[in-house]
Structure 1
Amino acid sequence: MVMPNIGAFIAWGLITALFMKTGWLPNAELAKMITPMVTYLLPLLIGFTGGSMVYEHRGGVVGAIATMGVIVGTNIPMFIGAMMMGPLGGWCIKKFDAWAQPRTKQGFEMLVNNFSAGILGMILAIIGFFGIGPVVSGLSGALAVGVDWIIARGLIPLANVFIEPAKILFLNNAINQGILTPLGIQASASAGKSILFLLEPDPGPGLGVLLAFMFFGKGTAKSSAPGAAIIHFFGGIHEIYFPYVLMKPALFLSVICGGVSGTFMFNLFGSGLKASPSPGSIISILLMTPKGIMNYVGVISGVAVATAVSFLVSMVILKRDKSEEIDDIGASQAKLADMKDNAKGTAADNQDAKAILSTAENVNHIIFACDAGMGSSAMGASILRDKVKKAGLDLSVTNTAINKLTDEPGLLVVTQEELAKRALSKTPSAVHVSVENFLNSPKYDEIVTGLKTKEVSADTPAETPSEKAEAKADAVTNLDAAKIKRVDFIHHDQNIGSATMARSMFKDTLKKADKTDIDVRNVAVGEVEDTDTTLVIASKETAKRIKLSFKNVQVLVVNDIVNAPEYDKLISELK
């Protein structure tokens, strides 16, 4: 509910930072926007979003009306109340419509719809005013007293003992947007800043881990760490460092120590931000820092100390590690996907992009969909958009929140695996591809190759029966068999078994023919070596992708890779 409206939070934070009495450009007239925005605009946006997530626009309207009751019934910014009343309003009007619509006489639909939304919204607003508002206000007051007690005794750094592991378990949004941000806004409204805005967004702990991998990691983890560090620190996408910690669970200690030490420095300098930075980029953090040199010194010191401590602890852990697990970033990303499944309570069946795209005859729009339609999905869309452009394909690539997906012709939807079922229910007629990680998926190349294959198929004239027979007869003759030193059978998720069997049978036949110098392999497309000494044996659709991806390999197209009649002639011509 909060993430789709984060732009409004940033607008409020910037207006506050610029125009309040102690801001960069104090302006009493413009500062009049600050209180109405935090009191009315932001909670109403949250309430409307919550209601619309349950029951589209109609649910959003009732959710906003219901939220107004808790806003007026209290004297604090009512974010938590909005998170309760918005979905409740959407759910109530959805249930009412399910009951009333079959019973509504023809011609009275508009009257019933309008008055039911108004009456139900009024009732919920009254309930919120007298019931929900005071309860949430009392709860927020108790939490604020508890946080104040921790801060007064200098214990606020201990909060990171729970926050840092929770982030990696994908509870970061629940902690930051659900607890720390509402309490921080209350503190900021009176004090002008709050340390609570720094606890979860601090990029220091994650940056320290990534820097340690840059210097002391191995393999793909080491080579990918520099790019991940830039995206994390400047882009504010903290999720990118989670796989590195899960790869070596001892690194949980690194981020905890970094978080505690960073918050200790924030507390020591009395640092705080005017509003919640989102994303958690160092740029956003500095923009939300109050005017004053010591405020900047405190914030930068906290981030720097968190980075240094996390780096040092990670360095010790990585240097002492002798296992090979540290190199397996792919396995860690798979583990990350499982952790996200558990955190969100969903799971999805993975699908092979190449097999799916063989059915994509009319794809003209690609959408990346995630929970909020921001962050990693935006970056994934940017990555694929660049690949599509370089491939010369005229396709639109955008990103959106999964709840805003609409079924339309020519749509290809890319989601993370745990969201695939939700995306399928929203767009049943679309082509669907699920990935483990928006920021680094090999399926992007498969998507582009599949779409290029589709264009080649569409542009190639159909063969006549006589041409097909002639092509089949000449398939082996057209090969330069004298050069072939390796034969590759191509597999993917749908034919791993048949490719394995074909390799075994072909190898046995070669052995009987006393041609054991030929290397026979069962490989994925990405493992093919692009030389004219390699022969790829594949089905028609797979062969098209091979020809688009490689320039030098020789290709033999067969209808049945296990028992093709072309094999006898091929083996007889091999040297």
Structure 2
Amino acid sequence: MIMPIIPALIAWGIVTAVVVNIAEFSSGWAPAEALSETVGPMIHYLLPILIAVQGGMMVYQMRGAVVGAVATFGTIVGSDWMLGDDGEIHMFIGAMIMGPLAAWLMKKLDALWEGKVKAGFEMLVNMFSAGILGFVMIVVGFFVLAPPINWLMEVLGNAVRFLVDTGLLPLTSIIIEPAKVFFLNNAINHGVLTPLGINEASGESGQSILFLLEANPGPGLGILLAFSIFGVGAAKATAPGAAIIQFFGGIHEVYFPYVLMKPALLLAVIAGGATGVGTNMVFDAGLRAPAAPGSIIAVFLQAPTSSYIGVALSVILSAGVTFAVAAVILLSSRKRDLEANEDKFSAAVKKTESNKGKSSSHLANLSAATKAPAQKITNIIFACDAGMGSSAMGASVLRKKIKNAGIDGVTVTNKAIAALPGNADLVITQQQLTDRARSQEPQAVHVSVDSFMNAPEYDDVVALVRESEAKQDGSAPEGGSAQDGSSPASTPGGRSQPAGSAAAGGVATDTRVRSDSQILTLAQVRIHSGSASQDEALSEAAEILGSAGAVTEDYLAAMKDREATVSTYMGNELAIPHGTNDAKSAVKASALSVTRYDGGVDWSGEKVTFVVGIAGVGDEHLEILSKIAELFADESEVARLKQASSEEELLEMLSAVNKG
């Protein structure tokens, strides 16, 4: 609930900083005084209501968001009414409770009379039921929820003041630093420290030390520097890159596996965290607003000028103390680690992913880096469920990257996971499919991506290929480079075929295939000024393919089954829905459909403007699909496609790529 509204918190922090700085250098300047009027309403009303909107949206989409926001307003005003002239409490915690609660009640109420309202009265019932529930929840928030929230915030505030006054605040690192490693950091930081910090920062001080208790990048930097010098194996090799991501990118989770592989390192991060907190206390340093993500850049952007020295020293000293303690721990076990030669780091990465509870591209990159190729990488396969769409486009994008990198002798092909031959050097899959692919290709290096179109992992793959070349003395395969379609690719039967052939899973080059104009015609290109739901977009794609005589009526169900398993969102506002591997019988001919929704489509949480429906017999459709992939890999080209004024112009842009 908090993370999506962090930009609004940052905006509030910037407004506050601008007002304060102008006030320091001017006396009673009218525009500055006028601008200062936005600070209070933003923090007291806008930010809590945004949290409620997000919480309600998560439970019951926009209907839940509206009711949650209305209910939270009652909680805010109820708190103010109770406190009177004794100050005010910003209802962040109240919003985190009331937003989802009101949305959940709305969802349950709607379920009671679903299908029972007479035709013509649906809008009346929907509008008044939400309005009445909103009124009821205003009353509940005003009289029932506001009192305990006020009491809770007072207790927590008093506890923080006690720790500050007695000099015990550094002891919070004993809880915060281990909690970060086990992915309780956001719950502690944004669930507790952010509401308390905002209350403190909105006062006379204009800053709060609480924003730095969890966000300080120093302890993580210290751990990664220690591994860069004193670590062994994959942990040492990956630590320098992880340090850059953690310190400048603010992605703290990349250092968690390093701690988990040696739990004694918790002592190092606790010592470093406590040192940073103590330093900030000594220099009375703090931030105006949360630093999210916890990058050194974000930290200094939110720090007032009076806190620069204290904040800088807190980061430096916390990193230094963490590094020193971690170095002692790593050196004491270095000999055993070298002799054991165990892949503990890979297991720690998996444990971290398990703690997080969902996939992470940053952790996936660490996983990919932990397994150095045992042989020269010459055979790269993109694998997806059906092998007809997303993998083909991803292969086209990577093939071009490898060509631009000047690498020869590498084949980049695509296949269905079930058709993986068992001899790949490197396999790329969407994260949900990696385990299946690993069982088919246990000896290969596996790389997981969120999307095939613009995955940052492609640069890592190019680096892995270069590394494997450097480690091996063998020459490249005969026949030229894979990227120009002339390199031979090994097939399961031991025969050699062109990488661009159907058997190799690449782009078909057989002269007997149908032309692009038959695969994608003007009748199969549409532009809509409005938006659509994902189901509506799937239905339209299936309808276009059906009208082209390419699929049967059963294909729509197969497309929905595919989305239920793995999303066909590719990145860069593109989705390429197609059937599952079991739906081959529903495909009668190769065809594509292209639909542009200027109002956008919510595609499993991602914004999609272009929906390219796919039906493929063999590899007939892959040539034009590869062209489309190269278009959508370039954001400037996507912008041009969005500006096409007609279906004819859009078709020309899509079919003109790489011609000549």
Determine whether 1:136 maps to 2:156: no
How far apart in 1 are the matches of 2:350 and 2:390? 28
Q: Which residue number in structure 1 is paired with residue 126 of structure 2?
A: 113
Describe the shift of the 1:343–1:462 C-alpha distance in structure 2 as closer, same or farther (beyond 3 A).
closer
Shift of 1:90: 1.1
Describe the shift of the 1:453–1:233 C-alpha distance in structure 2 as closer, same or farther (beyond 3 A).
farther
Shift of 1:443: 11
How far apart in 2 are the matches of 1:15 and 1:386? 42
Shift of 1:125: 1.2
Describe the shift of the 1:391–1:108 C-alpha distance in structure 2 as closer, same or farther (beyond 3 A).
farther
How far apart in 1 are the matches of 2:25 and 2:176? 34
Determine whether 1:88 maps to 2:101: yes
Q: Which residue number in structure 1 is paired with residue 284 of structure 2?
A: 270
Match of 1:181 among 171, 191, 194: 194
Report if the CA contact (8 A) 1:217-1:327 is conserved: no
Q: 1:380-418 CA deviation, whole Å, 9 max, x = no partner?
A: xxxx9985862689xxxxxxxxxxxxxxxxxx9955799
Q: Which residue number in structure 1 is paired with residue 160 of structure 2?
A: 147
Report if the CA contact (8 A) 2:501-2:508 is conserved: no
Q: 1:236-281 CA deviation, whole Å, 9 max, x = no partner?
A: 0000101111111111111011001111111111111111111101
Match of 2:401 among 390, 406, 423: 390
Determine whether 1:329 maps to 2:345: yes
Shift of 1:32: 1.2
Report the residue type matching 1:335 in the other structure: K
Describe the shift of the 1:231–1:355 C-alpha distance in structure 2 as closer, same or farther (beyond 3 A).
closer
Scaled by the length of structure 1, the TM-score of the pair is: 0.64
Match of 2:77 among 41, 47, 72: 72
Q: 1:459-512 CA deviation, whole Å, 9 max, x = no partner?
A: 243999xxxxxxxxxxxxxxxxxxxxxxxxxxxxxxxxxxxxxxxxxxxxxxxx
Q: Which runs of 4+ in 1 moved over 6 A?
A: 21-26, 364-367, 432-435, 438-446, 448-455
Describe the shift of the 1:4–1:272 C-alpha distance in structure 2 as closer, same or farther (beyond 3 A).
same
How far apart in 1 are the matches of 2:383 and 2:161? 55
Q: Which residue number in structure 1 is paired with residue 5 of structure 2?
A: 5
How far apart in 1 are the matches of 2:309 and 2:284? 10
How far apart in 1 are the matches of 2:461 and 2:107? 38
Match of 2:242 among 209, 228, 247: 228
Match of 2:47 among 38, 42, 51: 42
Scaled by the length of structure 2, the TM-score of the pair is: 0.56
Q: Aligned to 2:290, what secondary structure does the other structure show? A: coil
Shift of 1:358: 5.1
Match of 2:111 among 73, 98, 106: 98
Report if the CA contact (8 A) 2:250-2:292 is conserved: yes
Q: Aligned to 1:122, what secondary structure does the other structure show? A: helix
Q: Which residue number in structure 1 is paired with residue 266 of structure 2?
A: 252
Determine whether 1:307 maps to 2:312: no
Describe the shift of the 1:312–1:172 C-alpha distance in structure 2 as closer, same or farther (beyond 3 A).
same
Q: Which residue number in structure 2 is paired with residue 492 of structure 1?
A: none
How far apart in 1 are the matches of 2:344 and 2:2? 35
Report if the CA contact (8 A) 2:220-2:252 is conserved: yes
Determine whether 1:362 maps to 2:376: no
Shift of 1:337: 2.0
Q: Aligned to 2:167, what secondary structure does the other structure show? A: coil
Q: 1:13-54 CA deviation, whole Å, 9 max, x = no partner?
A: 111122137877772221111111101111111000000100
| Pairing of 1:454-473 with structure 2 (within 5 A) | 457=506, 459-461=508-510
Determine whether 1:199 maps to 2:213: yes
How far apart in 1 are the matches of 2:175 and 2:458? 31
Q: Aligned to 2:120, what secondary structure does the other structure show? A: coil
Report if the CA contact (8 A) 1:18-1:24 is conserved: no
How far apart in 2 are the matches of 1:197 and 1:338? 27
Describe the shift of the 1:217–1:93 C-alpha distance in structure 2 as closer, same or farther (beyond 3 A).
same
Report the residue type matching 1:212 in the other structure: A
Describe the shift of the 1:187–1:331 C-alpha distance in structure 2 as closer, same or farther (beyond 3 A).
same
Report if the CA contact (8 A) 2:218-2:272 is conserved: yes
Describe the shift of the 1:385–1:338 C-alpha distance in structure 2 as closer, same or farther (beyond 3 A).
farther
Backbone CA RMSD of aligned residues: 3.9
Report if the CA contact (8 A) 1:212-1:314 is conserved: yes
Describe the shift of the 1:461–1:15 C-alpha distance in structure 2 as closer, same or farther (beyond 3 A).
same
Report the residue type matching 2:50 in the other structure: L
Report if the CA contact (8 A) 1:62-1:93 is conserved: yes
Report the residue type matching 1:459 in the other structure: A
Report the residue type matching 1:390 in the other structure: K
How far apart in 2 are the matches of 1:343 and 1:390? 25
How far apart in 2 are the matches of 1:462 and 1:440? 34
Provide structure 2 residue ranges, at least 5 long, that are not aligned to the other structure.
27-31, 80-87, 361-379, 405-427, 437-447, 465-481, 484-488, 490-498, 514-617, 620-660
Determine whether 1:338 maps to 2:350: no
Describe the shift of the 1:357–1:19 C-alpha distance in structure 2 as closer, same or farther (beyond 3 A).
same
Describe the shift of the 1:22–1:355 C-alpha distance in structure 2 as closer, same or farther (beyond 3 A).
closer
Q: Aligned to 1:210, what secondary structure does the other structure show? A: helix
How far apart in 2 are the matches of 1:253 and 1:104? 62
Specify which structure has the higher proportion of helix: 1
Match of 2:232 among 218, 221, 241: 218
Report if the CA contact (8 A) 1:169-1:343 is conserved: no
Describe the shift of the 1:290–1:22 C-alpha distance in structure 2 as closer, same or farther (beyond 3 A).
farther
Q: 1:280-311 CA deviation, whole Å, 9 max, x = no partner?
A: 0111111111123xx11111111111000000
How far apart in 1 are the matches of 2:243 and 2:332? 22
Describe the shift of the 1:168–1:366 C-alpha distance in structure 2 as closer, same or farther (beyond 3 A).
farther
Match of 2:171 among 132, 154, 158: 158
Describe the shift of the 1:5–1:364 C-alpha distance in structure 2 as closer, same or farther (beyond 3 A).
farther
Q: 1:181-206 CA deviation, whole Å, 9 max, x = no partner?
A: 00000011112111000000000001
Provide structure 1 residue ranges, at least 5 long, that are not aligned to the other structure.
345-352, 368-383, 394-411, 421-431, 465-539, 542-575
Describe the shift of the 1:327–1:439 C-alpha distance in structure 2 as closer, same or farther (beyond 3 A).
farther
Shift of 1:360: 3.7
Percent of pairs identical after alignment? 45
Q: Which residue number in structure 2 is paired with residue 284 of structure 1?
A: 298
Shift of 1:215: 0.9
Describe the shift of the 1:456–1:355 C-alpha distance in structure 2 as closer, same or farther (beyond 3 A).
closer
How far apart in 2 are the matches of 1:247 and 1:82? 38
Q: Which residue number in structure 2 is paired with residue 51 of structure 1?
A: 56
How far apart in 1 are the matches of 2:211 and 2:259? 23
How far apart in 2 are the matches of 1:385 and 1:256? 47
Describe the shift of the 1:342–1:391 C-alpha distance in structure 2 as closer, same or farther (beyond 3 A).
closer
